[in-house]
């Protein structure tokens, strides 16, 4: 079954469960309301029975049989007894039509048997109660009816509670079934998605590895022919000096210049391939010492530009690949010296701050700066913002820096405005892992 089919099946099952669940709840809520109504009417039956008994006592039928009492007895038959019979019939109709379970049917049979007791009471009231013994027997009969009716009402209440318990059990089963559906959906669908992503990730890594190897091999194979072009154009320039036209000498110069640019690009591609393939060698690194080492390497350029450095307190030790981190620092300082403002000597501020799990190093200069509109792409390969004749380079240095920072699970970012210098921030995790 395809992944899309699994989605549709899972969605259909979920919708069916919701519809069935809601229908079930609404049906049993209706049943619960019906049960409550039956219980209320059963309670009214008990009340009418007690009221009838109280009225018979009040009439003092045993001691007086006046015409007035006969009118009141007739009123009892046409009001209280009539209401009693109506309530009884209502219960019989409801239980007879809606009985679903055995306990409904049991209540119906018990209630049906009580109809005979109502008839006996009606006959006794109609014929009159002429002695204390008859009044006592009438009371015993009414008490017996009341006891039986209490049992019916109690059974109705138990029936209602049983239905409520059934609703709770079925709801729990629905919840369990829903969890099972969700579990199997996650287990079947999302595990397949993860497997597909894992397979794609493996394929992507293999593809990247092939591309890296191809770039390495291609750059390596270009190195020798490019060097030969440089060597032979140099020899040709020397041996034809004064023997060829000025235009031909210019062409040779163009060839030599292009070959040198291609050589630089080839060397940088080889360096990038080396960086990507090299495993990180994480060790303790003193950033102050590393920066001083880079300054020593750039001493000539620093002296030429009369650059000034302001280095704030830096952490004594961080965990990183010292060789690669030195490349990042050297490139950032080289850029600050290269893109200096023509009207002022370079001033480079190096500072540090930390967060819970990261080191943050800032390299800020007062150079020409970078337009905010151009900052998004400066970490891309071969991205150059200036003409080669003014600022030489292939636009790969910052791409190298970003690659190195990503290998460290860190990042590099920039803040800059034109004519106001640039600030590069490199961030390294405090716990660096390979």
User: Which position has the higher pLDDT, 303 or 224?
Assistant: 303
Percent of the chain with pLDDT over 90: 19
Residue 42 lies in a domain: yes
With a cut of 60, say whether residue 251 has pLDDT above it.
Answer: yes
State whether 290 and 179 are in the same domain.
no
Nearest Cα neighbor of 351 from 312, 308, 293 is: 312
147 within domain boundaries: yes
Say how far apart CA 387 and CA 379 lie, in whole Å. Answer: 17
287 with 186, same domain? no
d(CA 405, CA 316): 20
How does DSSP classify residue 378?
T
Could you tell me if residue 209 is inside a domain? no
pLDDT for res 293:
93
Same domain, 170 and 296: no
CATH code, domain with 16: 1.20.120
pLDDT at site 214 = 56
Q: Chain centroid to CA 317: how far?
A: 38
187 with 290, same domain: the answer is no
- Looking at the fold, whether 285 and 403 belong to one and the same domain comes out as yes
**Considering the domain boundaries, does residue 246 fall inside one?**
no
Please say if the pLDDT value at position 1 is more than 70. Answer: no
Q: What is the CATH number of the domain that holds 312?
A: 3.30.565.10
Residue 310 token pair: 């302001």
User: For residue 196, how many other CB atoms are within 10 A of its CB?
Assistant: 11
Q: Which of 157, 191, 225 is the last residue of a domain?
A: 191
Residue 252 lies inside a defined structural domain of this protein: no
Q: What is the pLDDT of residues 390-420, one digit of tens each?
A: 555 566 788 888 989 998 999 999 998 888 8
Same domain, yes or no: 167 and 289: no
What is the tally of structural domains in the chain? Answer: 2
Which whole number is the average pLDDT over 317-341?
91
Q: How far apart are CA 332 and CA 365, in angstroms?
A: 10
- Domain match, 286 and 172 both: no
* 43 pLDDT higher than 50: yes
Q: Tell me phi and psi for residue 101, to 5 degrees.
A: -105, 170
Residue 136 lies in a domain: yes
Instruction: Judge whether 251 lies within some domain.
Output: no
Question: 300 to each of 200, 239, 356, 389, how far by Cα in Å?
Answer: 49, 34, 39, 21
353-391: pLDDT as tens digits = 999 889 999 999 999 988 888 777 788 766 666 555 555
Q: How far apart are CA 334 and CA 327, in angstroms?
A: 10
pTM: predicted TM-score of the whole model, two decimal places: 0.49
Q: Which of 279-288, 301-310, 391-400 has the highest mean pLDDT?
A: 301-310
Q: What is the DSSP letter of 188?
A: I
Residue where a domain terminates, one of 129, 161, 191: 191
d(C-alpha 380, C-alpha 95), whole Å: 82
Q: Counting Cβ atoms within 10 Å, is residue 226 exposed (0-12), middle (13-18) or buried (19+)?
A: buried
CA torsion angle 288 294 299 301 (round to 10): -120
**Beta-strand pair 358-364/411-416:** unpaired
Residue 40: give the domain boundaries: 3-191
pLDDT in tens, 193-236: 777 777 777 777 666 665 555 555 555 566 677 777 888 888 88
Q: Are residues 15 and 151 in the same domain?
A: yes
Number of CB atoms found within 10 A of residue 335's CB: 20
CA distances from 34 to 31, 42, 193 (A): 5, 12, 50
Name the more confident of 222 and 155.
Answer: 155
Averaged pLDDT of the chain: 77
For residue range 114-153, what is the model confidence (pLDDT) as tens digits? Answer: 778 777 877 777 776 666 777 777 778 777 877 877 787 7
| Domain final residue, candidates 163, 191, 219 | 191
Interatomic CA distance for residues 410 and 414, integer angstroms: 14
51 in any annotated domain: yes
Residue 59 clears pLDDT 70, i.e. is over it: no
pLDDT digits (tens, 9 = 90+) for 76-123: 666 777 777 777 777 777 777 655 454 567 777 777 787 787 778 777
Q: Output the CA–CA distances (angstroms, integers) from residue 280 to 208, 239, 396, 406, 413, in the order listed.
A: 18, 48, 20, 11, 21
CA distance 391 to 234: 24
For residue 173, what is the enclosing H or E element? helix 132-185
On whether both 285 and 421 belong to a single domain, the answer is: yes
- Could you tell me whether strands 308-311 and 318-321 are parallel, antiparallel, or unpaired per DSSP bridges? unpaired
Which pLDDT does position 61 carry in this prediction? Answer: 47
Check residue 426 and give its pLDDT: 94
Partners of 319 in beta bridges: 284
Residue 372 carries which DSSP code? G
């Amino acid at each position: 079954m395809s992944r899309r089919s699994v989605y549709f099946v899972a969605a259909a099952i979920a919708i069916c469960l919701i519809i069935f669940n809601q229908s079930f709840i609404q049906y049993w809520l209706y049943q619960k309301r019906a049960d409550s109504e039956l219980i209320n009417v059963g309670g009214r039956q008990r009340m009418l029975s007690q009221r009838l008994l109280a009225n018979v006592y009040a009439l003092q039928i045993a001691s007086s049989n006046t015409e007035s009492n006969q009118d009141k007895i007739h009123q009892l038959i046409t009001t209280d007894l009539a209401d009693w019979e109506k309530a009884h019939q209502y219960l019989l109709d409801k239980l007879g039509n809606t009985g679903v379970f055995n306990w409904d049917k049991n209540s119906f049979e018990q209630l049906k048997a009580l109809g005979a007791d109502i008839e006996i009471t009606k006959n006794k009231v109609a014929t009159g109660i002429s002695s204390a013994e008859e009044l006592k027997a009438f009371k015993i009969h009414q008490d017996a009816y009341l006891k039986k009716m209490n049992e019916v009402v109690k059974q109705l209440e138990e029936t209602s509670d049983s239905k409520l318990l059934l609703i709770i059990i079925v709801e729990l089963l629905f919840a369990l079934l829903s969890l099972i559906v969700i579990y199997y959906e996650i287990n079947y669908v999302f595990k397949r998605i993860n497997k597909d992503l894992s397979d794609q990730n493996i394929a992507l890594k293999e593809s990247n590895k092939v591309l890296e190897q191809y770039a390495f091999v291609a750059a390596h194979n270009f190195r020798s022919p490019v060097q030969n072009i440089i060597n032979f154009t140099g020899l040709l320039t020397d041996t034809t000096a004064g023997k060829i036209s000025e235009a031909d000498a210019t062409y040779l110069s163009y060839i030599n210049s292009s070959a040198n640019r291609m050589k630089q690009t080839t060397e940088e591609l080889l360096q990038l391939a080396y960086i990507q393939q090299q495993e990180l060698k994480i060790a303790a690194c003193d950033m102050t010492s590393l920066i001083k080492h880079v300054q020593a390497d750039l001493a000539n350029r620093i002296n030429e530009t009369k650059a000034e450095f302001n280095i704030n307190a830096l952490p004594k030790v961080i965990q990183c690949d010292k060789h690669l981190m030195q490349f990042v620092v050297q490139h950032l300082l080289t850029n600050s010296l290269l893109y200096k403002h023509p009207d002022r000597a370079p001033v480079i501020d190096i500072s540090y701050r930390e967060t819970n799990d990261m080191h943050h190093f800032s390299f800020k200069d007062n150079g020409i700066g970078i337009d905010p509109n151009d900052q998004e792409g400066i970490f891309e390969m071969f991205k150059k913002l200036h003409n080669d004749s003014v600022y030489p380079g292939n636009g790969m240095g910052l791409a190298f820096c970003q690659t190195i920072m990503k290998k460290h699970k860190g990042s590099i970012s920039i803040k800059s405005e034109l004519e106001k210098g640039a600030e590069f921030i490199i961030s390294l995790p405090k716990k660096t892992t390979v």
